[in-house]
Copies of this chain bind each other. A is one copy, B any other.
Amino acid sequence: MKHSALLTDLYQLTMMAGYYENNLNETATFELFVRNYPPNRNYLIFAGLEQILDYTLNIKFTEQELEYLRKHPTFKNIRDEFFDYLKDFKFTGDIWAMPEGTVFFPNEPVMRITAPIIQAQLLETYILSMFNFQTMIATKASRIVSASQGRQIIEFGSRRAHGPEAATLAARASYIGGCTGTSNVYAGHKFGLPIYGTIAHSWIMAFDSEEEAFEKYYKSYPDNTILLVDTYNTIEGIKKATRISPEIKGIRLDSGDFYLLSLEARKILDDAGLQNTKIVASGDLNEYKIKDLIEKGAPIDAFGVGTELVVSADAPALGGLYKLVEIEKDSKSIYKAKFSQNKITYPGKKQVWRFLDNNKLVKDIIASAEENIYTQQNAIPLLSQMVKEGKVLSPLPNINEIKQHCLNNLIQLDKKLLNSDSTTNIQIEISKSAQAKYNQLKDSLI
Contacts and interface: CB of A to CB of B under 8 A. Distances in A.
Interface in A22-36: 22, 24, 26, 28, 30
Contacts of A233: 339
B255 A342 contact: yes
A156 interface: yes
Interface residues of A, number: 111
Nearest to A326: B205
Interface of A: 3-4, 6-15, 17-19, 21-22, 24, 26, 28, 30, 65, 68-69, 72, 74, 76-78, 117, 121, 124-126, 128-130, 132-134, 156, 158-170, 183-186, 188-189, 195-203, 205-207, 216-217, 219-224, 230-234, 254-256, 307-308, 310-313, 316-320, 323-324, 327, 336-343, 445
A196 B167 CA distance: 28
A185 B10 contact: yes
A158 B125 contact: yes
Given A15-B200, A195-B74, A159 B121 contact: no
29 contacts: A6-B185, A8-B186, A9-B156, A9-B185, A9-B197, A11-B199, A12-B197, A14-B221, A18-B203, A68-B188, A76-B223, A77-B220, A117-B206, A124-B200, A133-B162, A160-B319, A161-B162, A162-B162, A162-B166, A163-B166, A166-B166, A201-B324, A201-B338, A206-B324, A231-B339, A255-B343, A256-B340, A307-B319, A311-B316
A10 B197 contact: yes
A86 to B, nearest CB: 12
B202 A121 contact: yes
Contacts of A339: 231-233
Contacts of A343: 255
Contact of A202 (B203, B219, B234, B323): B323
Contacts of A202: 15, 28, 30, 117, 121, 124, 323-324
Given A185-B10, A341-B256, A132 B158 contact: no
A3 B2 CA distance: 11
B220 A21 contact: yes
Contacts of A12: 197, 200
B74 A129 contact: no
Nearest to A204: B338
Contacts of A117: 202, 206
A404 B103 CA distance: 47
A312 to B, nearest CB: 8
A162 B336 contact: no
Given A121-B200, A307-B317, 18 more contacts: A6-B186, A6-B188, A10-B184, A10-B196, A12-B197, A28-B202, A28-B206, A124-B159, A129-B166, A133-B163, A163-B165, A163-B166, A164-B165, A165-B166, A201-B324, A205-B337, A230-B341, A255-B342
A128 B159 contact: yes
A220 B24 CA distance: 13
B156 A132 contact: no
A4 B168 CA distance: 11
B7 A222 contact: no
A258 to B, nearest CB: 11
B184 A9 contact: yes
Contacts of A165: 163-166
A220 B78 contact: yes
Contacts of A234: 340-341
